């Protein structure tokens, strides 16, 4: 039984029985007297549990009326492995955090986790040996991030000035926040836009101003938000997807067969060692970008419009390099 499990057990016994003798605790935990003393000291000194010895009943109990008030012991809902997992989750949040807004609020929890783990050395060693890389992160100013979170959790409307990059337009929007989404190192807000009268997805780093309003947010059922915002490919929302059919050559197939492009994707191995992948999408923009990253190792089989877009972008890129670097055209190289 681990140290954390024993702490669990001591707390449960004191709650259930009111007071427990030293002998009963030793028998229940199957530990030595010295180990039990260390566990009791750990509960009192590290976790602040109001445990005291009562000579009248010859046992340990919670001081005063703490049993009725239920003095909670931090971290006692987790075993040691779960606490380490929680510590790793904190590191993940720290890596994707926007300007420290999340980490700052989680710092008291992190300090408690370190205490329950028995000090900072082991926790620090874990943090040093786990590295999470978030490439192309687009930071969000802390004040906008916190106001979005406030509106989301308080279920209030948000007035914001928003930059639509594709059109290079800045507009005033009143939205009812529904859900925060973190995708590819960037934060997005799924919200009902009262200007456009529909669900839209907003990049938090494109917010130029944000104010929480007193008006209550319009409530959209989570299932409806998921249906309308998650059917598309990547960050592009939509409810009526099309399907792309991609063929990876044998060299790339070993990697492609292990990748998740979309939760509803369908894949199959081909007789020549290649791999065919079918993925739903609504807008061709992002799926075309992902196909382009694969270079000549993937070919778009369907739909024809996506294949034409990828071919055009490849040709445009080749033309840029041929012109700027005075390189021979691709068909004459080598």
Enter the tokens of residue 208.
């130029």
Could you tell me the CATH number of the domain that includes residue 159? 2.30.30
Question: Please, are residues 147 and 98 in contact by the beta-carbon 8 Å criterion?
Answer: no
Average pLDDT over residues 14-33: 87
Pair type for strands 266-269 and 275-281: antiparallel
pLDDT of res. 67: 46
Is the pLDDT assigned to residue 190 strictly greater than 80? yes
Residue 309 inside a domain? The answer is yes
Is the pLDDT assigned to residue 174 strictly greater than 80? yes
Is the pLDDT assigned to residue 92 strictly greater than 60? yes
What digits encode the pLDDT tens for the residues 207-226?
Answer: 999 999 999 999 999 998 98
- Tell which wins on pLDDT, 155 or 100: 155
Q: How many whole angstroms separate alpha carbon 124 and alpha carbon 110?
A: 11
Q: Which residue has the tokens 């923009």?
A: 285
pLDDT of res. 134: 66
Residue 213 inside a domain? The answer is yes
Question: Please, are residues 214 and 206 in contact by the beta-carbon 8 Å criterion?
Answer: no
Tell me which of 229, 257, 273 is where a domain ends: 229
Enter the tokens of residue 28.
């229940």
Is the pLDDT assigned to residue 315 strictly greater than 60? yes
**pLDDT-derived band of residue 311, with 50, 70 and 90 as boundaries?**
very high
Q: How many whole angstroms separate alpha carbon 307 and alpha carbon 319?
A: 18
Prediction pTM value = 0.59
Q: Say if residue 65 is in the same domain as residue 84.
A: no
pLDDT of res. 321: 82
Is the pLDDT assigned to residue 186 strictly greater than 60? yes
Is the pLDDT assigned to residue 232 strictly greater than 80? no
**pLDDT-derived band of residue 93, with 50, 70 and 90 as boundaries?**
low
Could you tell me the CATH number of the domain that includes residue 37? 1.10.10.10
Total residue count of the chain as it appears in this document? 334
Q: What is the percent of the chain where pLDDT is above 90?
A: 34
- Tell which wins on pLDDT, 75 or 89: 89
**pLDDT-derived band of residue 68, with 50, 70 and 90 as boundaries?**
very low
Is the pLDDT assigned to residue 76 strictly greater than 50? no
pLDDT of res. 73: 53
Q: What is the percent of the chain where pLDDT is above 70?
A: 73
Residue 259 inside a domain? The answer is yes
Tell me which of 229, 250, 280 is where a domain ends: 229
- Tell which wins on pLDDT, 109 or 271: 271
Is the pLDDT assigned to residue 262 strictly greater than 50? yes
pLDDT of res. 332: 47
**pLDDT-derived band of residue 45, with 50, 70 and 90 as boundaries?**
confident
Is the pLDDT assigned to residue 63 strictly greater than 90? no
Q: Say if residue 123 is in the same domain as residue 149.
A: no
Tell me which of 177, 199, 229 is where a domain ends: 229
Q: Say if residue 266 is in the same domain as residue 317.
A: yes
The total domain count for the chain is 4
Is the pLDDT assigned to residue 185 strictly greater than 60? yes
**Host domain of residue 122:** 80-129
Helix axes 120-129, 101-116, angle to 10 degrees: 130
Average pLDDT over residues 135-153: 83
Average pLDDT over residues 165-177: 91
Residue 295 inside a domain? The answer is yes
In 3D space, the residue among 309, 246, 249 whose CA is nearest the CA of residue 278 turns out to be 246
pLDDT of res. 139: 78
Pair type for strands 156-164 and 169-183: antiparallel
Is the pLDDT assigned to residue 17 strictly greater than 50? yes
């Amino acid at each position: 039984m681990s140290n954390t499990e024993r702490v669990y057990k001591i707390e449960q016994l004191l709650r259930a029985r009111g007071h427990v003798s030293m002998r009963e605790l030793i028998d229940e935990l199957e530990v030595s007297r010295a180990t039990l003393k260390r566990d009791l000291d750990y509960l009192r000194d590290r976790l602040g549990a109001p445990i005291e010895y009562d000579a009248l009943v010859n046992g340990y109990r919670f001081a005063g009326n703490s049993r009725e008030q239920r003095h909670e012991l931090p971290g006692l809902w987790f075993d040691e492995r779960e606490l380490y997992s929680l510590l790793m989750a904190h590191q993940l949040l720290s890596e994707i955090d926007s300007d420290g807004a999340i980490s700052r609020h989680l710092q008291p929890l992190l300090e408690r986790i370190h205490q329950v783990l028995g000090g900072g050395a082991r926790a620090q060693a874990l943090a040093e040996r786990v590295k999470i890389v978030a490439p192309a992160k687009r930071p969000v100013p802390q004040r906008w991030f916190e106001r979005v979170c406030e509106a989301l959790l308080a279920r209030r409307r948000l007035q914001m000035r928003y930059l639509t990059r594709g059109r290079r337009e800045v507009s005033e929007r009143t939205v009812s926040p529904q859900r925060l989404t973190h995708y590819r190192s960037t934060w997005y807000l799924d919200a009902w836009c009262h200007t456009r009268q529909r669900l839209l997805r907003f990049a938090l780093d494109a917010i130029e101003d944000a104010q929480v309003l007193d008006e209550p947010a319009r409530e959209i059922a989570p299932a409806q938000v998921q249906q309308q915002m998650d059917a598309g490919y990547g960050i592009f929302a939509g409810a009526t997807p099309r399907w792309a059919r991609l063929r990876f050559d044998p060299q790339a197939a070993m990697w492609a067969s292990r990748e998740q492009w979309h939760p509803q994707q369908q894949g199959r191995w081909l007789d020549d060692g290649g791999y065919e992948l079918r993925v739903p999408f609504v807008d061709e923009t992002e799926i075309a970008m992902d196909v382009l990253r694969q270079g000549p190792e993937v070919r778009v089989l369907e739909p024809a419009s996506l294949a034409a877009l990828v071919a055009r972008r490849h040709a445009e890129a080749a033309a840029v390099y041929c012109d700027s670097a005075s390189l021979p055209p691709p068909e004459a190289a080598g």
